[in-house]
Each structure stands twice: as structure tokens, then as C-alpha cells.
């Protein structure tokens, strides 16, 4: 982004109080332009495809439990260099919670039936050889894929601790 162009932002949050607070903070910061405030992730996906935002703030609610059930989130990626002489990679940063398992899905066309599991690496230049990551602690992790997804968005599915962690 240039120094003068604001980040075109879509906010997706199911909790009204938190959504309103985040929207107010985004509106007060000149670095951001709030394109939409949405409660529903499905509706959020449609808005993102139509509006092509540069930032998506999604599923931020720290309500107990943080992830009540298995599910998925839509996240944006950023392009980074891959292995020397290799293809570029796409970094996907996600907040993780101990014991939860995460998988990445991409879709080159955004057709409903075209989503597929993507192998990934947990390092920018490491071997892409994983389909699932189980967090050993709370925090943030960067995962790297080589497959570009439409408009740079990916689904990250998560499974609750103790759920089947077999390969997708």
C-alpha cells in the first residue's frame, strides 16, 4: 500500500458489541477505509469477492471457548520468496490455540466444488510436506503454500482438541 492509500477493509464479526467497537476504531484511523461490517462469514466471503479488500478482519471474538466447535475462517495471504530458484510462496498467518488442528484449503476458481486441501510448510523455505498442523501452544503461526488461490484468499479449517486429525 502507498503512504496515502488507505487499507480497504472488510470487518466480519458475529458479536455485535465487538464488531461495533472494531468498526469505530477502524473508522477513526486514517490508514483504513471500512468497506463493510458483516456478521456472517458466508456473506463476508461474497463481499470480499466483490469488493477485493486489501485487509479482512474476521472471527476475532475471544468468547469462551475461543473456538467453540470445529469450523473454518477465510484468511488473506501475502506473497513471499520460496526456496532459492523455486516458486514464490504464499504466507498465511493464523492465530492458533493449543490442541486445535489446522488445515489449509485453496480454490483457483472460487467455484463451490473446487476447494481442495493444500500441502504446506511451517517455514518459508522448508519442504512442503504437511496437510495438518496441531498447535502445541496458543499463539500465531505462519504457514506457507505454493498454490495461489483466487484473489489471495484461503480457507483455514480448524478442529477442536481430540477431534479426528487424519489427513483431509
Q: Where are the domains of the chain?
A: 1-63, 69-163
66-69: long-range pairs with CB below 8 Å, 24+: 66/97, 67/97, 67/100, 67/158, 67/160, 69/160
3-state secondary structure of 120: strand
Give the model's confidence band at 162: pLDDT under 50 very low, under 70 low, under 90 confident, else very high.
confident
Q: Evaluate whether 94 touches 129 at the Cβ level (below 8 Å).
A: no
CATH superfamily, with its number, for domain 1-63? Response regulator (3.40.50.2300)
pTM of the complete model beyond 0.85? no
Q: What is the pLDDT of residues 38-89, one digit of tens each?
A: 887 777 777 877 888 888 887 654 433 334 355 667 777 888 988 888 889 9
Amino acid at each position: 500500500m502507498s503512504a496515502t492509500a488507505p487499507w480497504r477493509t472488510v470487518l466480519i464479526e458475529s458479536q455485535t458489541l465487538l464488531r461495533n467497537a472494531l468498526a469505530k476504531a477502524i473508522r477513526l484511523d486514517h490508514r483504513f477505509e471500512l468497506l463493510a461490517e458483516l456478521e456472517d462469514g458466508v456473506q463476508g466471503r461474497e463481499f470480499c469477492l466483490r469488493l477485493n479488500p486489501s485487509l479482512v478482519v474476521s472471527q476475532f471474538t475471544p468468547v469462551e471457548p475461543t473456538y467453540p466447535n470445529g469450523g473454518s475462517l477465510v484468511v488473506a495471504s501475502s506473497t513471499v520468496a520460496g526456496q532459492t530458484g523455486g516458486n514464490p510462496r504464499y504466507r498465511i498467518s493464523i492465530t492458533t490455540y493449543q490442541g486445535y488442528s489446522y488445515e489449509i484449503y485453496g480454490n483457483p476458481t472460487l467455484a463451490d466444488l473446487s476447494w481442495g486441501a493444500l500441502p504446506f510448510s511451517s517455514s518459508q523455505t522448508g519442504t512442503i510436506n504437511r496437510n495438518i498442523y496441531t498447535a502445541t501452544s496458543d499463539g500465531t503461526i505462519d504457514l506457507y503454500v505454493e498454490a495461489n488461490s483466487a484473489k489471495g484468499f484461503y480457507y483455514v479449517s480448524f478442529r477442536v482438541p481430540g477431534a479426528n486429525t487424519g489427513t483431509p
